[in-house]
Amino acid sequence: MNTYTCKSCGAEFSSKKGCKSRIPMYCSSKCYGETLKISIKCKLCSKEIENKHGVKKAGRVYCSKECQGLVRRGGSLNNEWRAALSAGRKKSEKCKGPNLYNWKGGKENARRIAKERYMKAKYGAGRLPVEYLKRVLVAQKMMCFYCECSLSKYKAIEHLTPLARGGKNETYNLVYSCKSCNSKKNKLTLEEFAIKNGRFDWIDKFDEVYATAID
């Protein structure tokens, strides 16, 4: 049996454990737990709270569910947290101006950009012409290019020549369709899909939509 001094409470204790590389430092799990406790301030009201999980697992940043709920509903952070958040953003180029994910277009814009990056990496498709797509939707009268159902609930960007087959995010290759038609067309080109359905008028229809949207 060897005798050691607890680093937390200072009491002496005996233990069979211990070797040259690892010496017992605490007399009990309670004393060990005390060393992990840290005090932090609530993000909202600045009230002192004790975090029992230590720095590495400091997940608790609110003193109560009420404070957490208020922040989620638009409550203001206290000055200390606000200053830390501001300092972090200033250091990051990704959080400045147009680079901020919700600078223009909000989350929808962020999703579109993420999808463009994925498509560019996979197919080299390039960026979507956003303004042109808005005019396409007007030219199609908010109806699916193929079945002419309403696109008020769901609309898919339709590549007439699929990206998987070398199509690009160019004006001459884009229309809007419903989810059903987009799924049915899959990796077919416009011409192949028209032949499959006996709808050769779709080819002439695209010329009309393109001419209207490009002006």
**pLDDT tens, residue by residue, 82-110:** 666 566 655 555 555 555 555 555 555 66
Angle between helices 201-214 and 130-139 (to 10 degrees): 120
User: What is the arithmetic mean of pLDDT over 61-88?
Assistant: 66
Q: What is the pLDDT of residue 23?
A: 77
Q: What is the pLDDT of residue 82?
A: 63
Arithmetic mean of pLDDT over the chain: 75
Residue 202: partners with Cβ closer than 8 Å, 6 or more residues away: 145, 146, 190, 193, 194
Q: What is the pLDDT of residue 56?
A: 42
Question: Above pLDDT 90, what percent of the chain?
Answer: 12
d(CA 157, CA 175): 6
| Structural domains in the chain, sorted by start | 1-36 (no CATH), 40-91 (no CATH), 97-125 (no CATH), 130-214 (1.10.30)
pLDDT at 51 over 50: yes
pLDDT at 202 over 60: yes
Residue 181 has φ and ψ, to the nearest 5°, of -65, -35
Chain-centre distance for alpha carbon 10 = 49
Q: What is the pLDDT of residue 185?
A: 92
User: What is the arithmetic mean of pLDDT over 26-33?
Assistant: 80
Of residues 102 and 143, more confidence is placed in 143
CA atoms within 13 A on the CB side of 67: 15
pLDDT at 111 over 80: no
d(CA 138, CA 131): 11
Indicate the pTM of the whole model.
0.44
The DSSP element (H or E) to which 50 belongs, if any, is strand 48-51
Q: What is the pLDDT of residue 46?
A: 74
Of residues 57 and 153, more confidence is placed in 153
CB-based burial of residue 140 (10 Å sphere; 0-12 exposed, 13-18 middle, 19+ buried)? buried
pLDDT at 70 over 50: yes
With bands split at pLDDT 50, 70 and 90, how would you rate the model's confidence at 142? Answer: very high
User: What is the arithmetic mean of pLDDT over 34-63?
Assistant: 65
d(CA 47, CA 68): 13
d(CA 56, CA 207): 61
